[in-house]
Structure 1
């Protein structure tokens, strides 16, 4: 028999002035993301939902499993998710699988992280999608840090683009984190989803 630790239930809700995913805007206004999961040792199993602004659906849900581990000072994580649109309007490719991985390392107050997100058949008209992102973080205090990231997305059936974001996050209470971040891409002329914007977000965890 495996001696597994008891599962710990967790719930969080994120409210953002604009929904963002892989450097692109997902909403024209506020986005709400409720998320619940069970923590079983180094493994998380759960689900989430978020509203989106789209001609084909009003929301996007996902069920996921993530695992993390520290090896030789490096923080490693792997994840898999099944995503599907909700309140679908008309014919569309409304579900997909997504796989992710990341490697991070801390050097005192300075940290760095590189991540990749892969989908063999993304939502909507896009097919294969690979998104790489990485950058440094700097702890200004025990509760506040600044960060910057550069990313690139390669897609079949969609535009490729390079993205950038930078900002600050701070823990203002035991369960509440606030974040301010600026996003932009190198292809702002394509569509308003690719344009630069400042986003404010709050995460409440239970």
Structure 2
């Protein structure tokens, strides 16, 4: 049986609140303890490095995918189970998506937002049927969630599109829901169309 693989998007910085580092450590520890596989951007700094270190410390597998240009700036995590070096950000995101059974966003910046919105868009277009989760630690994403309600009220986004994103403020509950949804998922899993 294949190992459950979760692609995590999160900040390359630790952020202003200690709660962000704590939730990254908790999520990574849960992934590792469950014997699951972490797929992420391959960085060693910030929440990215934290979740990878926690996954590895708890006995899990950590797969990183990083463009050569970022590795050249010494931002790559050299202690991973696997570190894949690619040429472009497009290759990075494609490989991460292909290696994942589910997607999870922790607090982060514009890179995290872009990655989350891309796989969310792919999901609503039918390019994949993998579950999506948003870990709303300390209300970090409250403004985004309020804005999504606004987009629905203004007629640009449907409630069914918003409901594709599972939101929780605890890592254990959200990871359990993502694993259950991934196990129940059926349908296309074709990133070649993107």
Relative CO higher for 1 or 2, CA cutoff 8 Å, sep ≥ 6? 2
Higher normalized helix content (fraction of residues):
2
TM-score for both structures, normalised by structure 2: 0.28
TM-score for both structures, normalised by structure 1: 0.27
